[in-house]
Amino acid sequence: MRYFIYGSPIFLKSNISSMKDIFGKFKVESNFVNSYIISAHATSLNNKKTETNFLYRILKILKTEKISEKNYLEDIKNTLIKTTIPNKKIRLECVDINSRRGYSAKDIEVYLGEYLESIGAKITLKNPEILCYIILFDMCCHVGFISYKKLNFIDPGRHYKILSSGISRAEFKLMEAFDEFKIKAKTNQLAFDLGASPGGWSVFMAKKGIKVLSIDQGEMFSDKIKKLKISYEEANIENIHKLKEKNTQILHIRKKFQDSLVFLDKIKKADIITCDMNISPEEAAKAVLLFSNNLKKNAKLIFTIKCTTKFAKKYVEEAKKSLSKKFIIKSVIALPNNRQELTLYGVFKG
Ligand SMILES: C[S@@+](CC[C@H](N)C(=O)[O-])C[C@H]1O[C@@H](n2cnc3c(N)ncnc32)[C@H](O)[C@@H]1O
C-alpha cells in the first residue's frame, strides 16, 4: 500500500520516527520538506498509537499516474477517472505539493468538479459523504478517498484561513486543536486563556459562545475584537463578577498569570483551560496546575509545548510529567500551524 503523509515542517527527523512507530518498515518514494509519498505493508493504522504524533495526515493512495507539462489538466483528470471511487456525494480537494503549473489547487478542483458533474458524478460542498483527494507531487498525480466523517479537509492552511478572525496567526492552532480533539463547545461555558494576547484564542472561543477570562500582561487587540461584535473589557476586582452576565464575552486580566490568581475565588469553575504562553513547558505547566484548582472535573486542557530546540521529546516529557499530576494526557501532536511547538490535549481528573 502507498500513502501520502504530511507531517511537521519543523521536526523532520521526528516525522520519520513517527512513521517507524506506525509502519515498522517503509520506503520513502518522494519527499518534499514535510510531505512524503511512502510505500509500506498494509497495516492496522488505527491500532498503532505513537507516543507523540508528528504526522498530521496519513492518506491511502489508490492510483498514481505521471502528469506532463503539455497535458497538465488532462493528465490529472485522467488519473482521477481511472480511480475507483464509490458512487456517493463527493467533495474534491486538490493539494499541490510541488507541481504548480499556473493553476491553483482551487482551479483544479473546479475543473475536475465540472468535468465529473458532466458525467453524472455527485460533486458537492454541502454534506459530502466522501472526501476525494488529488495530490500533485513531483509531476505525479496521486488519488484516493476517505469518508468525510473521518476527515473534512486535507490542507489546513486553506481551510482555516476562511474561518479566521484575523487577530493572530495563533488562532489557527486552536481551530486545529478543537477540530483534531473533537472538542464541542457549549454556550456559557467558561474558559481560562493563559497567555491570551493579542486575543486570537480568546476570540475563537468567544465566537463559539464560551465566556473567556483572558490572562496576559500584554495588550489585546480590543478594537479588532469589538469590530467583530464581541464584548471585551479589562478586568478588575470590581467587574470580575460580570463574567456571569449574559452579555459579557471576554474579560481580560491584564497581568501575568502569577498575579492573577487572586481573581479566582471570585468566579465559578471553568470548563476549559488553554495555555499558549511563550515560556518553558515546565513553567507553563506550573501555571496550569495553579489554575486547575478552579476547574470542573473533566475540564479540557489545550496546551502548547514550546520547544526552544528541535529535541521535542525533552519538552514533551517535561510537560507531561508535571501536567499528568492533575490531567489525563490524551494526546500530544504536531498541528500544521504549530511552529517550533507541539499541542497537548488533556482532561482534568478533578
Ligand atoms: C504566543 S503569544 C499568545 C498568542 C495568543 N494565543 C493568541 O491567540 O493571540 C504568547 C503570550 O504569552 C504571554 N505570556 C508570557 N508569559 C506570561 C505570563 N507569565 N503570564 C501571562 N502571560 C504570559 C505573552 O505576553 C504573549 O502575549
The number of the ligand 1 atom at minimal distance from the alpha carbon of 199 is: 9
pLDDT in tens, 263-297: 998 899 999 999 999 999 999 999 999 999 999 99
* pLDDT (mean) for 327-337: 93
Give the residue, out of 277, 335, 339, with the most ligand 1 atoms within 8 A of its beta carbon, to mutate for a pocket test.
Answer: 277
47 has a pLDDT exceeding 70: no
Residue located nearest, by CA, to atom 24 of ligand 1: 195
What is residue 101's DSSP assignment? S
CA distance 39 to 76: 21
CATH number of 2-157: 3.30.2130.30
CA distance 73 to 69: 9
The rounded Å distance from CA 244 to ligand 1 centre is 25
- Locate 301 and state its grid cell: 486542557
What residue ranges line ligand 1, CB within 6 angstroms? 167-168, 170-171, 195-201, 215-218, 256-257, 276-279
Q: What is the pLDDT of residue 336?
A: 86
Q: What is the pLDDT of residue 49?
A: 58
Where do the structural domains in the chain lie, given as residue ranges? 2-157, 162-348
- Locate 140 and state its grid cell: 505525479
158, containing H or E segment: helix 156-163
51 has a pLDDT exceeding 70: no
> Candidates 3.40.50.150, 3.40.50.300, 1.10.3470.10, 2.60.120.10; correct CATH number of 162-348?
3.40.50.150
157 has a pLDDT exceeding 90: no
**pLDDT grade for 156, boundaries at 50, 70 and 90:** confident
The number of the ligand 1 atom at minimal distance from the alpha carbon of 215 is: 21
Pick 99 or 36 by higher pLDDT: 36
State the amino acid at position 146 in one-letter form.
I
The number of the ligand 1 atom at minimal distance from the alpha carbon of 197 is: 27
Residue located nearest, by CA, to atom 7 of ligand 1: 200
Q: What is the pLDDT of residue 45?
A: 59
pLDDT in tens, 74-115: 999 999 999 999 999 999 999 999 987 889 999 999 999 999
pLDDT in tens, 2-17: 999 999 988 999 999 9
Q: What is the pTM of this model?
A: 0.89
Q: How far is CA 332 from CA 27, 165, 166, 288, 312, in A?
A: 25, 26, 26, 16, 11
The rounded Å distance from CA 309 to ligand 1 centre is 19
